[in-house]
Structure 1
Amino acid sequence: MSTKDQSESLVEEVLSGRNRELQVLAAKGLAPLPPETLISLQIRLALSGDMELVTLANAALGELDPTLVAQVMEDHGADQDLTYFAETSDHPLVLETIIRHRRSTPKTLKVIAKRASPDLQEILLLRQDMIIDDPGVLEALEENPELSTYSSRRIGEYRQHLLFRKKIIEELPIEEHPDFEEVTHEEVIAAIDKVRAEIEPAGDEEDLTGLTEVQIRALPVKIRMQLARHAGRTMRNILVRDKNPLVARTVMLESMLTDSELELIAGSRSVVDDVFQIISRNERWLQKYPVIAAMAKNPRVNIGVAVRLVPRLSVRDLRALRRDYNVSQQVRRTADRLYKIKRV
């Protein structure tokens, strides 16, 4: 019998309840099992309802080295295990590991949010995916008596963005609404694990998934769309350049883009046309001069859109654009005409 089979057999024996002495040993953390298997078993006993085992398991788990707990949670943490330590641990390393873990759910993060230190609050606020899925994470943070000024400001920014995003999507023509296929958390994790096993990494890793760009692009479209809905900066930069318009549109409509990102996207020559159309219909974004200028100067932008933006350029930019042979003749002529009028 292999070591894995022996471990599974021992776990089954403990959970069966046939051997009380073995159950007590397991609850105390003394069963001959690998750390990740033993800790998970102890958690199941701590939640079993058998008061003796509950007391013993909770006591033993509370004495574990936080470094070991963090490592086991990072490599092997199941939903139940992550939730248990979110509720019982106060160690920053353990809580940070849980916050960053791709299996953590909004429910788990809410538990931590109510008592997280200011440093952990900042890390939690990076989990845009969980916040978009369940804005209740923000409400839980607001219940934290140690809520920092920075966190309070970021919560306001998230709320402003979420409400604004909803308004923008509602105002889009129905055919342009992102067409999401329901994808479960488990499906996303399975797809990530499959790509990681089948495709060699190349380049820098994205923080949340641990995948590189070549691996991310190999994910199924529905998974890329799901990731795009709550992408961090690195993931946004990859997926906004996706050749599938559905994925790129999702980034534009479902992510919290910074002003600098918008400017780069507006001037990009490697995004699909749908991206420029979305920017051109967002009056809030078109109040930002760098975005207007980048769009007007970008030869990839539809001529009609670019021409409409040219009148909003400064005299200096008009002078440069009228001689820019990368853009269309119509854009150059419009810039030349307006330059001659405005320079006076």
Structure 2
Amino acid sequence: MSNGILSQLKARQVPLGVRQSAARGVLPVGQEELLAILILLQDDPEPQVSQTARETLANEFSDELLKRIVESDSTPLEVLEFFGRPPLRSNQILESLIQNKATPDSTIASLAERVAAGLMEVILINLMRLLRSPFILESLERNPNSTPDIKRRLKEIREEFFEKRNNFIPIHRTKAEDKALERAQAASAEEPEESTALVVYSEVIREGEDVTHLTLNSLADDGFGSFEEMGEEEKLSTIQKIARMTVAERVQTALKGNREERVILIRDANRIVASAVLESPKLTDTEVESIAVMKNVSEEVLRLVGTKREFAKSYTVIHSLVKNPRTPIGTSLTLLNRILTSDLRSLARNKNVPEVLRKTAQRQLQIRTAPRESK
């Protein structure tokens, strides 16, 4: 997209006639660029131009169009910043704005202080952004719309990554730091002392229980092919290496590690670590589909899978989540409308899912099939 006219507008080099045409929205440019132009023209020194630009901006862009624009990583910075300022638009637009990686951290921080709890959850999902820009965390902490659960998660992040300074590892490390960490891990691997770090997620861990083999059993329960293909020593080596890591190191591994490490860390007892796996740029669709059927992960992980738009686009994922008895009931009920009638029929008979979900599926099935039955 050409930014020529935008640059000229900023430099006050565009003739009045062109500015008037632009304010009416009749310039031959793309929607993203036109939106940026109109935003700039709102402050035009010519009152008629600025007023026309405001009217065009208010009347010519539907929420659906604005949503598509703000979720694009090619949208001009002026547009992203504009929609982060009051008066705020619909939650649908704001959610797309928050999830856009091109949105400036300063804009996210501004939103974090005033959005509703649901959008605070969306901001919290992006752990990498929070670690990169701690002032976003501070804005979230000041938000009066926070819920007890959000406050708990904010406290966990602050304690693990900003108060335990000796445990904090930046998301972006130098090669020298990476090598130093590798040497430290190699040295610790030679020590006979066993780690007490809890790697696998479990609601009940008995004192003295062998966490390494508990992790292996958990992996076997979910039948991960590539992990099962590894030799016993290789499996144990991977698990023991992770068990010696601090929380911050496990988050780093969750974001940048390989598939086998993600398979283990998605079950981590620390929800911050497990959630970080879902932020990994290496995470594949197949892995997400596997996570959606897991019985040995925390409910928080399954809730996040159902919340993230890029995951919930997959019918396989949402169908697996709804069938998974461990999925939070609120998440399952939200996804129920997207389940095909044939699958809804099976769900209505499934005694492994919560009763409220099964009964809701039965009611929806009756509604969907009633017209055909009445003929």
The alignment's TM-score, normalised by the length of structure 2, stands at 0.45
Q: Which has the larger radius of gyration?
A: 1
